[in-house]
A = this chain, B = another copy of it.
Amino acid sequence: MAKKSDLIGVFDSGVGGLTVLRAIVDLLPAESTVYLGDTARVPYGTKSPTVVTRYALRVVDHLLRFPLKALVVACNTASAVAMPALRARLDIPVLGVVEPGAQRAVEVARTRRVGVIATEGTIRSRAYERAVLALGPRAQVIGKPCPLFVPLVEEGLCSGPIVDMICHHYLDELRPQIDTAILGCTHYPLLASAIRETFGPEIQIVDSAEATALALAALLAEHQLLAPADQVAAHRFLFTDAPERTAELSARFFQKPVQQVEAVDL
């Protein structure tokens, strides 16, 4: 049986999921967490569902060495394709980033026209589309892959003329067709200002990371598993590969120093 003092496991293909972890830590500061970034196999977005599911199960088997009370799949690709396999493997609540983002979009979309911007793999999976339509059958969902956004963020280019030009390249055609846009990739919150500027004030932006943190809080409350408010939180970070820039990158995504970093060989 899971206990209130157990950890929240958070898993991503790389460092992007740290934007989700950050949203969780901001909302639930008493919770202890363990993060596993599968940096040896990043990115998942270009890989087939079979391969992504195999990698996700391997990662989760490792995370189960820790006492977990919930697992957050902070990776859009794995959330899109591996949730059934992960839920079958685990007997704790498992939360992806797709459903919370879709839920929030359905709540805020005035004209029910929802855009999803994400990697090619996430768009091709149609996971957000299915999730939005399950919640709001009369919604219209338009997906737009933005494959240059991840490498821009990883290079530290989050503003300036190159970013603006690439934002317009992807978003100008989408803008007149939607009233709400889901940031369907964990890297995209770092481009939120540029994306917001390109879309203009008429379009509402839904950040899947924030939506996921809110859904996790509700899920833990429902299972009576919220940590005691006076618990001193601890955060561990595991990476399957630790090249020099992981620590620097991690701090950029987590927006706090990243300590207790360990390498694991999966």
Residues of chain A at the chain B interface (Cβ within 8 Å) = 39-42, 46-48, 51, 120-121, 124, 147-148, 150-152, 154-155, 157, 161-162, 165-166, 169, 241-245
Given known contacts A47-B243, A169-B162, A241-B48, A151 and B155 CB-to-CB distance under 8 angstroms: no
B48, A243: Cβ atoms under 8 Å? yes
**Could you tell me the distance between the alpha carbons of A131 and B91 in the complex, rounded to whole angstroms?**
54
A148, B151: Cβ atoms under 8 Å? yes
> In this complex, what residue of B is CB-closest to A14?
B46
Q: A124 to chain B: which residues have CB within 8 Å?
A: 244
Given known contacts A148-B155, A165-B161, A51 and B46 CB-to-CB distance under 8 angstroms: no
> In this complex, what residue of B is CB-closest to A151?
B151
A151, B147: Cβ atoms under 8 Å? yes
Q: A150 to chain B: which residues have CB within 8 Å?
A: 151
**Could you tell me the distance between the alpha carbons of A241 and B244 in the complex, rounded to whole angstroms?**
27
Listed residue (A46, A51, A124, A147) with the most chain B CB atoms within 10 angstroms of its CB: A46
Q: A243 to chain B: which residues have CB within 8 Å?
A: 46-48, 121
**Could you tell me the distance between the alpha carbons of A155 and B148 in the complex, rounded to whole angstroms?**
8
**Copies of this chain, how many?**
2
Q: A51 to chain B: which residues have CB within 8 Å?
A: 40, 241
For the complex with contacts A120-B245, A150-B151, A162-B169, 10 further pairs of A-B residues with Cβ separation under 8 Å are: A40-B41, A40-B47, A40-B51, A46-B245, A47-B243, A148-B152, A148-B157, A151-B151, A162-B165, A165-B165
**8 cross-chain pairs, A with B, having the tightest CB-CB distances, nearest first:** A151-B151, A51-B241, A48-B243, A147-B155, A40-B51, A47-B241, A48-B241, A148-B151
**Could you tell me the distance between the alpha carbons of A121 and B147 in the complex, rounded to whole angstroms?**
20
Q: A41 to chain B: which residues have CB within 8 Å?
A: 40-41
> In this complex, what residue of B is CB-closest to A169?
B162
**Could you tell me the distance between the alpha carbons of A124 and B245 in the complex, rounded to whole angstroms?**
11
> In this complex, what residue of B is CB-closest to A55?
B40
Q: A242 to chain B: which residues have CB within 8 Å?
A: 48
Q: A166 to chain B: which residues have CB within 8 Å?
A: 162
**Could you tell me the distance between the alpha carbons of A241 and B157 in the complex, rounded to whole angstroms?**
30
Q: A46 to chain B: which residues have CB within 8 Å?
A: 39, 42, 243, 245
**Could you tell me the distance between the alpha carbons of A77 and B124 in the complex, rounded to whole angstroms?**
29
**Could you tell me the distance between the alpha carbons of A249 and B46 in the complex, rounded to whole angstroms?**
12
Q: How far is the CB of A160 from chain B (nearest CB, A)?
A: 9
Q: How far is the CB of A252 from chain B (nearest CB, A)?
A: 15
Q: How far is the CB of A56 from chain B (nearest CB, A)?
A: 14
